[in-house]
Amino acid sequence: MNNPPDVIRAGYAELIVTDLEQARWFYCDVLGLVVTAEDDDALYLRAYQEYLHHSLVLRQGDEPALARLAYRVRSPREVDAAERYFTELGVPTRRVPEGTTRGIGEAVRIQDPLGFPVEFFYHALHTERLTQHYHMHRANALARIDHFNVVVPDVAAARDYYTSLGFGVSETIEDSDDNVYAAWLFRKQTVHDIALTGGDGPRLHHIAFATNERSQILHTCDMLGALQREHHIERGPGRHGVSNAFYLYLRDPDGHRIEVYTSDYYTGDPDNPTIRWDVHDNRRRSFWGHEVATSWYAEASTVLDLDGRPVPTTEPPHRESVVSVGADGFGVITEDGVTQGVKLGHQV
């Protein structure tokens, strides 16, 4: 078997949005991403510390969807390695010439074994890094892309796929029967580049951007309140149990979920221990015990195959939203609208 490509980190994502001007309002005016370039049908955006051409592409389309997740690899040779590896693995694999995505060099695109459209690239146009252009920063300035989170019906199988690509597992949510409900995996030296959430999949759960300070996250909330656009806030702000990060989840005008994230921890040593959370530990998803919004478990974005067709989804065998306990000690209302009758600390 050929070696897998040497992935450095989550690089960029391309989302299909139905109204580019609404999307510009959300991503540029509210979140403060910077426009590197634009075409008639697309915006290429980056955060203040980023010097590559973009970390997010928004492309106009008829239905909201994820068009692509892209990982940056260590060298151009690793793009070739990706082509060899995924061809041998037997998944749809295409080499695309420079400029197929504006600003990105020659790349390899696959539909991965989990069903997601994934690209591996090295070359990208460099732009100005705006780290110290403080006069341009908004009070909620996003620093850089941090991670992708995807919904998959079989988290254990998806975790095994990503570990076979050389990703480390930083944290998991499990039960005493070894069911895995969620997993966090990394190449860069933080908690994750990709998280796996159990549910109907393949779907995109969210894309996360890092800020330097949590005050920036609070400012985003204040701004949305002031603009009477508070309905874009879905979950948080709060402190994650998993990852220890301070977080906020927003929904964009098409329903795509964006997380703003700060202050996770270093994972770069070779023996970095995996933290395993019990699915009944009420602090796992909110360290302060707040209940997770039902929509956060249930809703996610459709993903497209390499020809732009929606990928059908499969149901998971177990749902975390059904077995978990709300912060108040009452059951969480499940996707079926049924309240599970459980007491705090008791297993269902």
Residue numbers at the binding site for Fe ion (CB under 5 A): 149, 208, 259
**Which of 109, 203, 285, 319: binder of ligand 4SX (CB under 6 A)?**
285
Judged by beta carbon distances under 5 to 8 A according to partner kind, the member of Fe ion, ligand 4SX, none in contact with residue 121 is none
Distance CA 112, CA 127 (A): 30
Instruction: Please report whether residue 58 would count as binding ligand 4SX according to CB under 6 A.
Output: no
Under 8 Å between Cβ of 119 and 66:
no
Residue whose CB is less far from ligand 4SX, 169 or 245: 245
Nearest to 36 by CA among 57, 59, 18: 57
**Which of 70, 245, 303, 323: binder of ligand 4SX (CB under 6 A)?**
245
- Secondary element (H or E) of residue 225: helix 214-226
What residues contact 136, with CB distance under 8 A and at least 6 apart? Answer: 34, 48, 130
> Virtual CA dihedral for 91, 92, 97, 98, nearest 10 degrees?
-60
**Which of 149, 170, 267, 321: binder of ligand 4SX (CB under 6 A)?**
149
Residue whose CB is less far from ligand 4SX, 111 or 262: 262
Q: Which residues of 26-65 are buried (b: 16+ CB within 10 A; e: fewer)?
A: bbbebbbbbebbeeeebbbbbbbbbebbbbbbbbbbeebb
Residue whose CB is less far from Fe ion, 78 or 146: 146
| Min separation Cβ 115 and Fe ion, Å | 20
Judged by beta carbon distances under 5 to 8 A according to partner kind, the member of Fe ion, ligand 4SX, none in contact with residue 319 is none
Place of tokens 């634009």: 38
- Residues 107-146, one symbol each (x = binds ligand 4SX by CB under 6 A, - = not), give ----------------------------------------
Stated length of the chain: 348
What residues contact 212, with CB distance under 8 A and at least 6 apart? Answer: 141, 143, 262
Judged by beta carbon distances under 5 to 8 A according to partner kind, the member of Fe ion, ligand 4SX, none in contact with residue 148 is none
Under 8 Å between Cβ of 333 and 339:
yes
Judged by beta carbon distances under 5 to 8 A according to partner kind, the member of Fe ion, ligand 4SX, none in contact with residue 243 is ligand 4SX
| Min separation Cβ 278 and ligand 4SX, Å | 12
Instruction: Please report whether residue 241 would count as binding ligand 4SX according to CB under 6 A.
Output: yes
Binding segment for ligand 4SX (CB under 6 A), chosen from 79-87, 92-100, 235-243, 333-341, is 235-243
Residue whose CB is less far from ligand 4SX, 59 or 256: 256
Judged by beta carbon distances under 5 to 8 A according to partner kind, the member of ligand 4SX, Fe ion, none in contact with residue 285 is ligand 4SX
Instruction: Please report whether residue 208 would count as binding ligand 4SX according to CB under 6 A.
Output: yes
| Min separation Cβ 1 and Fe ion, Å | 31
| Min separation Cβ 325 and ligand 4SX, Å | 14
**Which of 242, 304, 306, 323: binder of ligand 4SX (CB under 6 A)?**
242
**Which of 240, 251, 256, 319: binder of ligand 4SX (CB under 6 A)?**
240
* Secondary structure E strands in 91-232: 93-96, 107-111, 117-121, 144-152, 168-174, 180-186, 194-198, 203-210
Q: Count the Cβ atoms, other than its own, within 10 Å of residue 73.
A: 25
Query: Three-class SS string for 161-188?
Result: HHHHCCCEEEEEEECCCCCEEEEEEECC
Q: Which residues bind ligand 4SX (CB under 6 A)?
A: 149, 195, 208, 240-243, 245, 259, 261, 284-285
